[in-house]
Amino acid sequence: MFSLFLNTKQIFLFQAFNLKNYKYKVILFISASGGLGTALGMKFKVIVTNLKPVILKAFVSYSQTPTASNMVKYLQQQEAIDIDLELFNNYQFSVDQLMELAGLSCASAIGKSYSELQLQNKSILICCGPGNNGGDGLVCARHLKLFEYNPVVYYPKKTDKDLYKRLVNQCILMNIPITECLPNKSQLNREFGLIVDAIFGFSFKPPIREAFVPVIDLMKDTSLPIASIDIPSGWDVEAGATEDGMKPEMLISLTAPKKCAEFFKGKYHYLGGRFVPPTLQEKYKLNLPKYHGTECCVLLN
């Protein structure tokens, strides 16, 4: 038996001769589902077993198509702020309009990567902050409920703004529990299969406010997978995590990834928020990847 490892951006073709009287088996492992067309630009491994001596030729060429993560621009904090302002002021989007699209993107990404079976039918704890990132979390909770998951919202610091009151009321009317009581580590592991981090967004500046220190510490200490919305809470928006920062398994960047996403080492990096007008994409040279069909999120890694 022998193995061939081909690096990223390679296409492979194998041609074997004199196989008429030989038993052979070729196993192809690809890092994503689908045929060869979906494997382009991805790392894969070929193992050939039970093959008696034959002539095996490998022809390797290079794809000119970069991977999605190589294409996308990673935004500095001020760039992210400026793009948001243009969406609101020039393109006349409302906050709740973008929040709805962002929250749906996040729920869709979670649904693609974590089945109910993987979560062992446990609940999803959605930790929401007081700002727009928390609003994305509340919308995400509602859509996860519609996707037949069991979301529970931890919301320690509510705001008096009408938008957030409406989002909370929508969750309540859909029988989504909302609590100000943070579960302890034992309860967390027993009752939940996933944590959604929707506390701080790209406007975050340290230090972490006192009300959110316990939940950040709990997320640092847990072995449960964490899905962070846009920015892993507590990370510097450009410089990334501190040494003891949380390490989410999933990051769902919104609009475009922020600079801190370059330091993300988790399993799933999605881009969501399919609402950026082409003219705005061109102005900031965002190089956003192509979304598939009617999808509202796309996997970058």
Q: Which residues are annotated as a binding site for K(+)?
A: 133, 197, 233
269 and 251 Cβ atoms separated by less than 8 Å: yes
Question: Pairing between strand 250-254 and 178-179?
Answer: unpaired
191: which 2 tokens? 């009752």
Annotated binding-site members for (6S)-NADPHX: 132-136, 201-207, 230
Q: CA 70: distance to chain centroid?
A: 16
43 and 87 Cβ atoms separated by less than 8 Å: no
User: Cα-flanking dihedrals φ and ψ of residue 248, to 5°?
Assistant: -70, 150
Cα–Cα distance list, 78 to 47, 162, 235, 288 (Å): 48, 27, 16, 18
Residues in the chain: 301
DSSP 57-100: EEEEEE-SPPPHHHHSPPBPHHHHHHHHHHHHHTS---HHHHHH
Annotated binding-site members: 132-136, 197, 201-207, 230, 233
237 and 245 Cβ atoms separated by less than 8 Å: no
Residue 181 burial (CB count, 10 A): 8
User: Cα-flanking dihedrals φ and ψ of residue 29, to 5°?
Assistant: -105, 120
What DSSP character marks residue 113? H
